[in-house]
Amino acid sequence: MKLDLVIRGAMVYDGLGSPGVVADVGIKDGRVAEIGKTGAAAETVDASGLSLMPGIVDLHTHYDAQVTWDPTMSPSPSLGVTTAVMGNCGFGIAPCPAERRDTMVKNLSVVEGMDLDALQAGTRWEFESFADYMQLLRDTHPYANVGVFAQHSTIRTAVMGEAASTEKAPTAGQLAQMKAEVRSALDAGAIGFASSFSPNHSGHGGLPMPSTIASDDEIRALAGVLGEKKRGVLMMATGPRATPEFMEELVAANGRPAFISTVLTMYNEAEPGRGLTYYERCAAAIGRGHEVYIQTSCQPLSFDFTLEDPYLLLTHSAFSRVAASVSGDLADIYRDPEFRRQFRADLANPRPGILFYGNWAMVEVDGKPVSAIAVERGVDPLDCFFDIALEQKLATRFVAKCFQNDDKGVAPLLKHEAGVVALSDAGAHLIFMCDAGFGLHFLRHWVRETKTFSLAEGVRKLTSDPASKYRIPGRGRIEPGAWADLLLFDPATVGLSGLVRLQDLPGGGSRMIRQPQGVKGVWVNGVKVFDGKAYVKLEKGPGQVLDQFEA
């Protein structure tokens, strides 16, 4: 048998935790065909001195709209990601009746920090149903494999219109219609059902995202479709409301695994022990036979922002004036001593689930902490923060490192049996941040620099572990018969750049990306999509739309 491709002489890590071995990997028809000594091939890559691993599996992305105009799903494949799951937190664009499109993208632009003009200019609305959206993805030929959740807020909006963000209780008919939409999505290949109770999730005009006002019984009813169909996973941005115990109740009722995403599970120096307690409660549930996992971020949760658009501060009550401002003259608010007094009070008595707790050493301007600048100026750090912004007419770019910013606090979470490495938010919050390179950060920081994980175990955490927990077959492993999703890299240099701003969105909008370091090639289903420097120009991307999952 003549192979399509052989990658020769790499140190191969199979993704299952086995020690690396020097071997050739032969690929035929998009799958791994041979490992060890291989025969002739149409193409050969000399990988001597490099390491080969399965492509990274990213469980938490928001490429739902971007993929319709950008099949490369930039920047994720360049950062080693070969499989991406979309529709997280219950936000997306399908199903969407034509008359709901404006509401849908306006909400998405706010809750996921996306450029509204880009969404309106770029999104291809060649669908209304979830099934038609999946077909659009197939016709788009993405560069990475994609899975899509049935999305609570999207479905609620499709059924209830603008009332979805104001009416807490749907009618019996509306609830029945929502359940039917979840069934239709699962039948069309949805990976599961996603929702959010997070108080941080607000939509257009300051209104809550639809799912966040839904009752517990509504979640029970919609998640119950997973049990009815006996397939799919449940993903939820839980906030303080959907506790691990509540999520365990849903797992026990439906027999399907659940995944929690919330800042309450992250290491936070203001409450350093709180996050770990969530992991222990989930571990207890797992011990009772109920799979409740936490999506764990492996890098500091950071936001690049200005006070013209202070996304991460809007959950503080003082900033309600900012959110409600229509005049556009925010400078007067930031100068107001009463506003600053109220913000100080908010920081002194923080509400659960907020993003910033008041540590000004973690807010930087050009790499320098606001706390240090305040000492130099002899002023209070909060006043210094606003004064700096006002001096530059609110154009100052701040970087806030809010959570997961202490290695000693984060390492136990990454190692915990109840966690799964995720939370890149790739495709979202592009104005402020780009965490799409979480896997390369993990390989650089947690494997090479801190040696918290061996390379074999680090690769497993990024590949077969998330694939197995989400019931994605044939991914995240290098073994005969597995799909040939591969990342070739130099372990001595692998990593990623700092934030790079591009102005390449539809309509001329800007975004933040990161660029890979030490990456020598990325293959999806045996086809090279990134050569280490640039995306390969392909007539059709090789990514598959995932619609078949394990029980």
Q: Are strands 301-305 and 398-403 parallel, antiparallel or unpaired?
A: antiparallel
Q: Please, where are the H alpha helices in 15-151?
A: 66-69, 101-111, 116-122, 130-140
What was the pLDDT predicted at 419? Answer: 98
**508 burial class (0-12, 13-18, 19+ CB within 10 angstroms)?**
exposed
Cα(472)–Cα(503) distance, rounded to whole angstroms? 35
Residue 61's DSSP bridge partners are 426
What was the pLDDT predicted at 48? Answer: 98
| Nearest Cα to Cα of residue 448 among 463, 437, 459 | 459
What was the pLDDT predicted at 73? Answer: 98
Mean pLDDT per 10-residue segment, the chain (551 residues): 96 98 98 93 97 98 98 98 98 98 94 92 97 98 98 98 96 98 98 95 90 98 98 97 98 98 91 95 98 96 83 88 79 96 95 83 92 97 98 92 91 98 93 90 98 98 98 98 98 94 93 96 98 97 98 91
What was the pLDDT predicted at 328? Answer: 67
453 within 8 A of 35, measured Cβ to Cβ: no
Instruction: Kindly list the structural domains of the chain, giving each domain's residue range(s) and its CATH number in brackets, ordered by start.
Output: 63-300+406-442 (3.20.20.140), 303-403 (no CATH)
Cis preceding-peptide flag for 75 (omega within 30 of 0):
yes
What was the pLDDT predicted at 326? Answer: 64
pTM for the predicted model, two decimal places: 0.91
Q: Which residues, including other chains, have CB under 8 Å from residue 100's CB and lie 6 or more apart?
A: 157, 158, 161
What was the pLDDT predicted at 232? Answer: 98
Tokens of residue 19, six digits: 């020690």
